[in-house]
Amino acid sequence: MGELWKLSLAEMHDLLRGKSISSVELTQSYLDRIKAVESDIKAYITICEDVALKQAEQADIRIAKGDCQKLTGIPFQIKDLIATKGIKTTCGSKMLEDYVPVFNATCVERLAGVGAVVLGKGNMDEFGMGSSCENSAFYPTKNPWDKDRIPGGSSGGGAAAVAAGEAAYAIGSDTGGSIRQPAAMCGIVGLKPTYGLVSRYGLVAYASSFDQVGPMTRNVQDCAAILEVISGHDEFDSTSLPRQVPSYSDSLDGNIAGVRLGIPEEYFLDGMESGVRERVNSAIETLKEMGAIIVPVSLPTTKYALACYYILAPSECSANLARYDGVKYGYSYQDTEDMWEAMGVTRSRGFGMEVKRRIMLGTYALSSGYYDAFYLKAQKVRTLIRNDFDSVFQQVDALIAPTSPVVAFEHGDRTDDPVRMYSIDVCTLPVNIAGLPAVSVPCGLSDGLPVGLQIIGPHFSEGNILNIAYSYERNTEWSKFVPVMN
């Protein structure tokens, strides 16, 4: 049946609905693709072939009865910090190496509800902490565009799988850029929804006031279709908002004439690679030619965002990760005299270096005597950053910025310098600080490596930012570019 994995969701859906192919055939074509390339890419922690084929059979039964929704029978990958009933959910950590959840995350339930097919669990930086997928306790993922390079992180497995045709789409999570940045580095589309739009029930917590679940896809239409299924109120997540979910697909009319797009000067930094700058500037020109009104704007507190995030996120992580004490679940070292020693050994062996660094940073920022100077101050800065966005969105409909100031770099390039690693999140994490939605869409290549264009909107403007991304995508060829793998 040729290379089915190259099709868009809409094309796969048409073939399935018209019964030209079955979900079992489609799923098998993805499993074959995984067999062919996975040893090179390492995008998966767990591949669940049997579960996938069983779900595909169920989907075919549904389709035979005339129930073929947009995602029915289409195989996807899910990040390994999202709970999947009966399937290992390791969070990329030794701590949860053998953890098998007894429940599904809400987003998994919703996708199962429309008959989607789970291929397996995506590789990632441990507990979502990282920007390169090199902090996985198991192995790093390779970028399909150049296997010597990182795929971005932390949802690097998802981005690499979609780019390499090892999944039709992936579900990731984004705390400071983990969907958008790997999407940019692997040349795919990634959306971080508004805080509260998608339920986090079953998403293992990293930094709870930042975390969001979202889609990683080959094009914008696919992204809208998935968002429609996974978003909406969930009584199991107290931060999920009781709002009606619009049809995001209907927002994609391809017309951005008169749309006001702000260009925030602070996102075009000195440290930005010239190839990225060129691609993003040329995308802005294209948007202008398409009828958008380009408005230079300023978000002056952006310069504090990196410091603010790297105090608040580790603080929340130090509290969230306190539960891994070797008692209730996860890795447990018990060959000691007393409980305290057992807990110490469990945590020092179960967690990797970066996670330990974050726990120490966060515990320090929260400790008495330092709380006011670090945590409290960072919370106040968070409000200022949010205020900046609020006032700029009085003038413009959305903001245009690079997703990452750099393209995918070589493995090992930044691992021994954590601050250099953190600094590449500078364009993505302000969005999480303010709880906003943002999408990354491919906008070209720099030295043969993908560059991402980031479109940031006010809260709940997913329909609008997706339409801007869609309009841009339709006017350019970039999303058709796929890595040549050999």
In the region spanning residues 206 to 235, those forming contacts with ligand GLN, defined by CB under 6 A, are: 206
Residue closer to ligand GLN, measured from CB, 56 or 312 = 312
Active site residue 79: yes
Active site residue 178: yes
Residue closer to ligand GLN, measured from CB, 273 or 425 = 425
**316 makes contact with ligand GLN (CB under 6 A):** no
Active site residue 154: yes
Which range of residues in 9-17, 68-76, 89-97, 175-183 is near ligand GLN by CB under 6 A?
175-183
**313 makes contact with ligand GLN (CB under 6 A):** yes
Taking the complex as a whole, how short is the minimal distance between the CB of residue 117 and ligand GLN, in angstroms?
25
Residue closer to ligand GLN, measured from CB, 109 or 174 = 174
**425 makes contact with ligand GLN (CB under 6 A):** yes
In the region spanning residues 269 to 308, those forming contacts with ligand GLN, defined by CB under 6 A, are: none
Catalytic position from the list 22, 23, 93, 154: 154
Residue closer to ligand GLN, measured from CB, 174 or 462 = 174
**182 makes contact with ligand GLN (CB under 6 A):** no
Among 128, 402, 463, 483, binds ligand GLN (CB under 6 A): 128
Among 84, 93, 104, 131, binds ligand GLN (CB under 6 A): 131
**152 makes contact with ligand GLN (CB under 6 A):** no
Angle between helices 462-475 and 274-289 (to 10 degrees): 100
**129 makes contact with ligand GLN (CB under 6 A):** yes
**154 makes contact with ligand GLN (CB under 6 A):** yes
Catalytic position from the list 173, 178, 318, 440: 178
Q: Pairing state of beta strands 212-217 and 170-174?
A: antiparallel
Taking the complex as a whole, how short is the minimal distance between the CB of residue 235 and ligand GLN, in angstroms?
25
Count interface residues toward ligand GLN (CB under 6 A).
Answer: 13
Residue closer to ligand GLN, measured from CB, 214 or 262 = 214
Residue closer to ligand GLN, measured from CB, 206 or 331 = 206
Among 176, 435, 457, 463, binds ligand GLN (CB under 6 A): 176
Residue closer to ligand GLN, measured from CB, 252 or 381 = 381
Taking the complex as a whole, how short is the minimal distance between the CB of residue 375 and ligand GLN, in angstroms?
16
Q: Kindly list the catalytic residues.
A: 79, 154, 178
Binding region for ligand GLN (CB under 6 A): 128-131, 154, 174-178, 206, 313, 425
